[in-house]
């Protein structure tokens, strides 16, 4: 069931994956794509309007019951699969807040590197590289949506483009965008040192070699001079009262994404 270009539609690929999971007794014979599929993490865009044809080595799979044996079968029998991770999609991978431990998914087999190319309203693209076993799950479309909201905020408010803070910067997309928007300096900060490593790499591959400072601490404890803008992007469900209070001490313009 391949297209002339050699790619298969994602529902056929997921059916193939589910069939192997049934044979390996990870899911029952009555399993359905909707209820029992592993989470597919990918560098490509999903569209509900068009069938999605996907290429070789383009899918990272996540499921709590995967085993080494299943991972090995998925990698060798399903050409679209590039990595198999064990873990619960319900947990926040990375560091959820100031007091949480850092959590990871287990890499059973393959390469967990994912590359997202984000379109922006500046006509320029931002490339974000992540390691899916240790960096949070966020599809490219969600990050693009955050960039649009930031863009609209800047368009609708007369902000001086001197210094901005990306207070919970993660992989760096928002701060990189602010630099591309013309801010003279962006202060990147994240509590998780693994995010800081990824940020440095992402700055480099986006061709940014100056105009920034990097801090690795809880935002609540960040000690920097006042800025013109502060962007806060916490994980869903995290209590941001203290974080917003701190942001308001640093600037009059706080954007909670
Ligand atoms: C939703 S993610 C940010 C996503 C980010 N905008 C990006 O483009 O990757 C939230 C980030 O907040 C960080 N974080 C959680 N609690 C924090 C805190 N108290 N201070 C600073 N960073 C924190 C996490 O490590 C994570 O990278």
Which CATH number goes with the domain that contains 129? 3.40.50.150
Protein residue with its CA nearest to atom 10 in ligand 1:
234
pLDDT at 140 over 80: no
pLDDT of residue 49: 62
CA of 95: how far to CAs of 28, 43, 49, 139, 192, in Å? 34, 22, 35, 18, 6
Cα angle vertex 242, ends 97, 233, to 5°? 55
Q: What is the pLDDT of residues 14-29, one digit of tens each?
A: 999 999 999 999 999 9
More confident: 216 or 3: 216
pLDDT at 96 over 70: yes
pLDDT at 50 over 70: no
Query: Which of 48, 75, 90 lies at the terminal end of a domain, its last residue?
Result: 90
Q: Are residues 161 and 238 in the same domain?
A: yes
Q: Is 190 in the pocket of ligand 1 (CB under 6 A)?
A: yes
- Residue 125 domain-assigned (yes or no): yes
Query: Which of 48, 72, 90 lies at the terminal end of a domain, its last residue?
Result: 90
CA distance 52 to 17: 16
pLDDT of residue 48: 62
More confident: 90 or 3: 90
pTM higher than 0.75:
yes
Phi and psi at 60, nearest 5°, equal -110, 130
Q: Are residues 133 and 231 in the same domain?
A: yes
pLDDT at 219 over 80: yes
Q: What is the pLDDT of residues 171-186, one digit of tens each?
A: 999 999 999 999 999 9
Query: Which of 71, 90, 109 lies at the terminal end of a domain, its last residue?
Result: 90
CA of 244: how far to CAs of 85, 115, 158, in Å? 34, 31, 21
Q: What is the mean pLDDT of residues 159-163?
A: 96
Q: Are residues 125 and 249 in the same domain?
A: yes
Q: What is the mean pLDDT of residues 250-254?
A: 96
Answer yes or no: are the C-beta atoms of 195 and 135 closer than 8 Å. yes
Q: Are residues 139 and 236 in the same domain?
A: yes
Answer yes or no: are the C-beta atoms of 128 and 205 closer than 8 Å. no
- Residue 95 domain-assigned (yes or no): no
Q: What is the mean pLDDT of residues 146-153?
A: 95
Q: Are residues 58 and 144 in the same domain?
A: no
pLDDT grade for 142, boundaries at 50, 70 and 90: confident
CA distance 109 to 107: 6
CA distance 163 to 183: 6
pLDDT of residue 65: 96
pLDDT of residue 141: 77
The pair of three-digit structure tokens given for residue 14, joined into one six-digit string? 């997921």
pLDDT of residue 137: 82
- Number of domain units in the chain: 2
Q: What is the mean pLDDT of residues 35-55?
A: 77
Q: Is 191 in the pocket of ligand 1 (CB under 6 A)?
A: yes
pLDDT of residue 139: 77
Q: Are residues 84 and 203 in the same domain?
A: no
- Residue 110 domain-assigned (yes or no): no
Q: Are residues 126 and 31 in the same domain?
A: no
For residue 122, the enclosing domain spans 117-256
Mean pLDDT of the chain: 93
Q: Are residues 123 and 239 in the same domain?
A: yes
Protein residue with its CA nearest to atom 5 in ligand 1:
170
pLDDT grade for 138, boundaries at 50, 70 and 90: confident
Q: Are residues 129 and 210 in the same domain?
A: yes
Q: Are residues 34 and 133 in the same domain?
A: no
Non-local (6+) Cβ contacts of 59 within 8 A are 13, 40, 41, 42, 80, 81, 82
Q: What is the mean pLDDT of residues 153-163?
A: 95
Answer yes or no: are the C-beta atoms of 177 and 80 closer than 8 Å. no
Protein residue with its CA nearest to atom 26 in ligand 1:
170
Q: Are residues 203 and 132 in the same domain?
A: yes
Of 93, 168, 235, the residue with max ligand 1 atoms within 8 A of its CB, to mutate for a pocket test, comes to: 168
- For ligand 1, the distance from its centroid to the CA atom of residue 22, given in whole angstroms, is 37
Q: What percent of the chain has pLDDT over 90?
A: 81
- Residue 1 domain-assigned (yes or no): no
């Amino acid at each position: 069931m391949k297209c002339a270009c050699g790619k298969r539609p994602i529902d056929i690929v997921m059916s193939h994956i589910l069939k192997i999971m049934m044979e390996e007794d990870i899911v029952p014979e009555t399993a359905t794509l909707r209820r029992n599929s592993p989470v597919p993490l990918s560098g490509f865009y999903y569209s509900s309007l068009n069938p999605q044809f996907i290429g070789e080595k383009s899918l990272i799979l996540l499921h709590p019951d995967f085993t080494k044996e299943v991972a090995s079968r998925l990698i060798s029998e399903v050409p679209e699969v590039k990595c198999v991770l064990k873990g619960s999609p319900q947990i926040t991978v990375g560091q959820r807040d100031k007091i949480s431990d850092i959590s990871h998914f287990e890499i059973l087999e393959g390469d967990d590197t994912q590359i997202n190319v984000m379109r922006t309203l500046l006509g320029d693209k931002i490339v974000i590289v992540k390691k899916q076993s240790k960096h949070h799950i966020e599809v490219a479309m969600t990050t693009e949506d955050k960039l649009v909201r930031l863009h609209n905020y800047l368009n609708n408010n007369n902000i001086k483009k001197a210094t901005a803070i990306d207070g919970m910067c993660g992989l760096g997309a928002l701060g990189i965008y602010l630099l591309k928007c013309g801010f003279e300096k962006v202060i990147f900060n994240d509590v998780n040192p693994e995010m800081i490593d990824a940020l440095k790499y992402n700055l480099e591959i986006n061709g940014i070699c100056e105009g920034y400072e990097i801090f690795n601490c809880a935002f609540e404890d960040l000690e920097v001079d006042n800025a013109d803008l502060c962007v806060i992007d916490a994980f869903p469900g995290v209590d941001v009262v203290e974080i917003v209070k701190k942001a308001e001490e640093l600037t009059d313009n706080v954007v909670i994404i």
